Amino acid sequence: MNKIISLLILLVGLSACNTIMNMTKEEKELTYSDAVDVSFRVLSVDNKEDSLVLRKKSIDIENPEKIAEDKDWQYFIERLKMTMAEESGVGIAAVQVGIHRNLFLFMRLDKPDRPVEVAINPKIVSVSDTIICFENDGCLSVPDKSGNTKRYPEITVEYYNEKGNLIKETLRGESRGGDFTGVIFQHEFDHLQGVLFTDKLYEE
């Protein structure tokens, strides 16, 4: 019996070793490095170390349905919102401030007052059959550069919001002249894969 109990304890321990903590020590240090109303430094491709960080693929956040109860992630989200506002962006991913987690903010141009929403562990479930040329795509992490990128005009997505609710919806958008929420979502989703908009430029 003792051997069985010891084996069970060992198996639980091994399982725990393979589980990603909800927020690591390093992530907490960065999150609480300043007040909640102080923006993060946005990583830039002009910096070699930053560039390597931006190219690394992010991982999921555990128990996203309980994110509203997690004070660490809520603090991080508030600072990320402050950062996006100060940078005058329409979206920003966690990796752009040095946190390799599947989380980003995106502006809802398709809603009144254009609210900023949170996408946690997002997925692009399906895309339209056609590809468009989205003009003047740009990025907070790629300063002083823009270009025309290959994007889908319609995507169906799934993600958890900051309240822990699972959202399933279709997003659209083709040009900067109107609603391009779907393009913002694609751009930020790419960041989580270590992909930059410069990887999707149309050939001149």
- Is 188 an annotated catalytic residue? yes
Determine the Cα–Cα distance for residues 92 and 110; give it in Å rounded to an integer.
18
| Other beta carbons within 10 Å of 41 | 13
Q: Where are the alpha helices (DSSP H) in the chain?
A: 2-17, 25-31, 48-54, 71-86, 181-192
Q: How far is CA 134 from CA 104, 109, 149, 195, in A?
A: 20, 16, 5, 17
Indicate which residue of 62, 188, 203, 204 is catalytic. Answer: 188
Annotated active-site positions, please?
188
